[in-house]
Amino acid sequence: MNFDEVMEYMENTVNPLGSILGLSVMEELLDRLGHPERELKVIHVAGTNGKGSISSFIAGALMANGYKVGRYISPSVLDYREKIQVNGTYIPKTKVAEYLSSLFEIGKEMVADGFHHPTAFELETAMAFCYLRDKKCDFSILEVGMGGKDDATNVIPTPLLAVIASISLDHVGLIGNTLEEIAETKAGIIKDGGCVVIAPQEECVEAVLRRICAERANVSAVFTDNAQIVVKEPKSQIKDNTLPLPKPVRFTYGKTGIKLSVCGVVQAQNAATAYEAVKQLESLGVKLKEEKTLKGIEQTTWPGRFEILGKKPPLIIDGAHNPDAVKRLMESVDFYFTNCPIIYIMGVLKDKAVEEMVQLCADRAKMIITVTPPRNQRAMRAYDLAGIIRAHNPHVTAADSVEEALEEAILLSGGEAVILAFGSLSYMGRIREAYEMYIKQSKSKSSRGFGEV
C-alpha cells in the first residue's frame, strides 16, 4: 500500500472500529512487534494545555546541544506526518506506508486471535515507537494523546523524565468529571523510580499531584516556579493609524533571562517549564551546555500557537480549543492589543465547553465569523456556533468555508482591525493554506498589499 492508500484504510476501515478502555490491546500489539518502546529513552509529556509548546522547547534545547531528538505529537497541525519527526524532519510518506501496511496485517491477525483491532491512535503510536527506534534517536519526546493513565503512550516503562503541563477541565466525562479526577488521570504517567517536572497548577491540582508523587516509590518531583514576563514598553495600541504587531516574549526564570522567538504570554511559562525539565535532564547525567540550551529554547518556533501569519492587517492563528486555553489567549490579546479592534474567526468541536469558551471571549470582538472545522466528525456547525455567540455578541455571522471566512475578515478589517483565528487545531492548517492562496491571488491582481509578510 502507498501513502494515500494507508490513509484511506485508516479513515474508512480502522476509524469505524471503535476502541476498548485500557492498554491491553496496545500491549498485545507491541508484544507482537518485539516491544520497540523499551529501546527508547523517553521524555513523556502530559497535561491539558501547553504540551506541544513544552515539547518543542525541550526538543530545541536538546538539538542545540547536538542530540538526535525524535518527537511524537498529537494532533498534527500542518501535515499528517508532523505527528512523527526526528530533528524537525517529518517521517517520509514511504515510511508511513511501510509501517502502517505492516501494522494493518498485525491488526488483522489480532482480530483473528480474538483481540480487538488497534485504534488509529494505537497504530500511530506503535509506528512512532518503531520509527524512532529505527532512527536511533538519543531522546524521544512523547506527547500524551488524551489523559495519561490509559493513553496508548503510557505502555512505556518508567521514562527518563515525565513532564506535566498545565491541567484544566477538558475531555470531561472521558478522563474525569472534576479537575481533581482529571489530574489523577494525567498523573498516570508518573511511575515508580521516575523523575517528574510539573508546571504551575491550580491549588487543588497541585495537591493531587503531590499526593501521587508521594504514593509512588522513589519519585523525584520538581514543581516549576512562575516565569516573570519582562515588559520594556507600554502595551501596544493603535498609533498613527498603524496596527501593532506582537513582539516575542521576554521573561526571567530565577536569575536566567530568556527572549523567545514566539509570541503569546503563556509561552513564558511553557518555556520556563521546558527549561526546568532540561536542567533536570542535566542532573540525571545528560551532558548539556547552558549557552546552547538557552539558544535552543530561544530559537524554537511552534506553528498554530499565537502565530503571526500576516502583518497588514495582523493575522494571528491560535489553537485555543478549551476554556483555559481561551482564557490564556485573551490574556495575550489584552497584552498585545489594548484598545485595538479585533475580528475573530472561530471554529470549535461540539464536545468542548463551547458556552464557557464563548463567554470568555465574545465581548472582546468587533465582529465574529464562525466556521465549521473541515473533515472532523466532532466539528460544531458554524451556524450552531453563531447561535451560541449571538447571545453574547450580536455582531456574528457564519461562513460557509474557511476560505470565505478569511476573505470576509480581511475585507471587514479594512486594514484597521486585528484578525484572530482560533479554536480547534484541526483547521489551523486550512487557515494557513487559505491565507497563502489569498496572498498569491492578491499579488496577481496587484492588490493593495494586504498580507505583507
pLDDT, mean of each 10-residue run, the chain (453 residues): 96 86 94 98 95 96 98 88 97 98 97 96 97 98 93 96 92 78 95 97 96 96 94 54 78 95 94 98 97 98 89 90 92 89 95 93 96 89 97 96 95 91 89 89 62 45
What's the confidence (pLDDT) of residue 237? 54
> What is the DSSP code string of 307-364?
EEEEETTEEEEE---SHHHHHHHHHHHHHH-TT--EEEEEE-BTTS-HHHHHHHHGGG
Architecture per CATH, domain 3-298, reads as 3-Layer(aba) Sandwich (3.40)
Residues 167/202, Cβ–Cβ less than 8 Å: yes
CA 386 from centroid of its chain's CA atoms: 25
- DSSP, collapsed to helix, strand or coil, labels residue 305 as coil
Residue 283 CA to chain centroid, in angstroms?
A: 27
Domain with CATH 3.90.190.20 in the chain: 307-443
Q: Are the C-beta atoms of residues 385 and 354 closer than 8 Å to each other? A: yes
Q: What is the Cα–Cα distance from 306 to 300, expressed in whole angstroms? A: 14
Q: How far apart are CA 51 and CA 96, in angstroms?
A: 24
Virtual torsion, Cα 421, 425, 427, 433, nearest 10 deg: 80
Q: Which residues contact 189 (CB under 8 A, 6 or more apart)?
A: 44, 46, 144, 148, 149, 151, 154, 159, 162, 164, 196
Terminal C-alpha separation, the chain: 40
pLDDT value of position 238? 54
Q: How far apart, in whole angstroms, are the C-alpha atoms of residue 218 and residue 206? A: 19
Q: Is 145 helix (H, G, I), strand (E, B) or coil?
A: coil
Who contacts 327 (Cβ-Cβ below 8 Å, separation ≥6)? Answer: 360
What is the location of CATH 3.40.1190.10 in the chain? 3-298
Per-residue pLDDT at 450: 45
CATH superfamily ID and name for 307-443: Mur ligase, C-terminal domain (3.90.190.20)
Q: At what angle do helices 203-215 and 179-186 cross, to 10 degrees?
A: 40
Determine contact, residues 180/205, Cβ cutoff 8 Å. Answer: yes
156 half-sphere exposure, CB direction, 13 A CA radius: 32
pTM score: 0.92
Please list, in sequence order, all residues whose beta carbon lies within 8 angstroms of the beta carbon of residue 8, skipping any fewer than 6 positions away.
none
Q: What is the DSSP string of 177-243?
A: SSHHHHHHHHGGG--TT-EEEE----HHHHHHHHHHHHHSTT-EEEEPPPPEE---SPPP--BTTB-
Strands 314-318 and 307-311: antiparallel
